[in-house]
Amino acid sequence: MTDNKITTVELGDGGPQVGVQGLGCMGMSEFYGDTDESAARETLETALAAGVTLFDTADVYGLGANERFLAPFVAAHRDEITLATKFAIERKGDDPHYRGVRNDPAYIRKAVEDSLRRLDTDAIDLYYMHRRDPAVPLAESVGAMAELVRQGKVKQLGLSEVTGAELREAYAVHPIAALQSEWSLFSRDIERSAVPAAVELGVTVVPYSPLGRGFLTGAFTDAAKELSEGDFRQYQPRFTGDNAKKNAALLEPVHKIAAAHGASAAQVALAWVQQRAQVHGLTVVPIPGTRKSSRLLENVAATRLTLTEGELAQLEPIAGQVAGDRYPDMSSTSAARE
């Protein structure tokens, strides 16, 4: 760190310099229980002061509420931050269970206008396709996204939860700056095909849920028993019942390694993801989510923690032993199309 700020890396080929760790803002508006709004706002400022510059949201988080929540922060710091948002997951205010995936150009053209309005900005720095609808040719969707770049509404393009083949196909239409997919000690599907493609193309990988949605920190061991009603993690197969019990036991080496470094389990989990950069030879900018300044500082400090080869070897078998899928319905993930 220089001046107490985390180091920076280039986001995509020729893109802006961003702090080597970003901030996931999703939980500030939905999914992980009630939020103290003023603490969340303070967390945004703490992050920026620490050198975190990539702020991640999506139109779907809180049905637009997360983008609206970020707007004042964006206005106050527009030139200091790299703002990422996403389109493609369609929800309906009057049907809480409805989820659709939309990649058609008309939808994309409307989605970007809605995000720009909610974020109260002229341009989105990094615009991701959140999920892929295989019924729509990728060239059509990425072509529509590229048009937004030409119009100045979007600066760089990203994709989330795509396979290596899809990343290559998209890149042939327009350069893709970032691939955002789940990557953590528990979730390594991305290494099958997407990571090799990202290495080959020079695409930055932005690991989401690097803390396993909090499970890897030891903050909870059974979502059904310990988290508040409606918390999204209660519906994820890994975090309840027998699976949760088995999965919590897998964290023993994480806790041991943390103790040896005088670090927290969260920091070991984040250092492991960060070190994928050297292991695979690519740029990695994880976006852990937190609504608390103290945790933000704990998380950025993990960018200075280096795990030894021996420690990495102890952590290696964990993902292969995890019980339960990443989502209750895996049909829209990259894993379903590999």
Binding site for ligand NAP (CB under 6 A): 24-27, 32, 56, 130, 160-161, 180, 208-214, 217, 219, 266, 287-292, 295, 298-299
Minimum CB–partner distance for residue 333 and ligand NAP (Å): 8
Output 238 or 291, the one with its CB closest to ligand NAP.
291
Question: If 0-12 CB within 10 Å is exposed, 13-18 middle and 19+ buried, where does residue 91 land?
Answer: middle
> CA-to-CA distance for 286 and 11, rounded, in angstroms?
12
The radius of gyration of the chain's CA atoms, rounded to the nearest angstrom, is 19
Neighbours of 78 (CB within 10 A): 14
Using CB positions, name the residue nearest to ligand NAP: 24
Q: Whose Cβ is closer to ligand NAP: residue 36's or residue 151's?
A: 36
Closer to ligand NAP at the Cβ: 144 or 258?
A: 258
Q: Would you please indicate which residues are annotated as catalytic (active-site) residues?
A: 61
Question: Residues 6 or more apart from 60 whose CB is under 8 A from it?
Answer: 86, 89, 90, 91, 130
Taking the complex as a whole, how short is the minimal distance between the CB of residue 158 and ligand NAP, in angstroms?
9
Q: Of 124 and 150, which CB lies nearer to ligand NAP in the complex structure?
A: 124
**What minimum distance in Å lies between the beta carbon of 59 and ligand NAP?**
12
Q: How far is the CB of 255 from ligand NAP (least distance, A)?
A: 13
In the complex, what is the shortest distance from the CB of residue 297 to ligand NAP, in angstroms, rounded to a whole number? 9
Angle at 90 between CA 88 and CA 91, to 5 degrees: 155
Residues 51, 8: contact at Cβ < 8 Å?
yes
- Residue with smaller CB distance to ligand NAP, 151 or 292: 292
Spell out the residues 6+ positions from residue 316 whose beta carbon is closer than 8 angstroms to its own: none
Identify which of 177, 100, 110, 168 has the alpha carbon closest to the alpha carbon of residue 136. Answer: 100
What gap in Å lies between CA 309 and CA 108, rounded to an integer?
Answer: 44
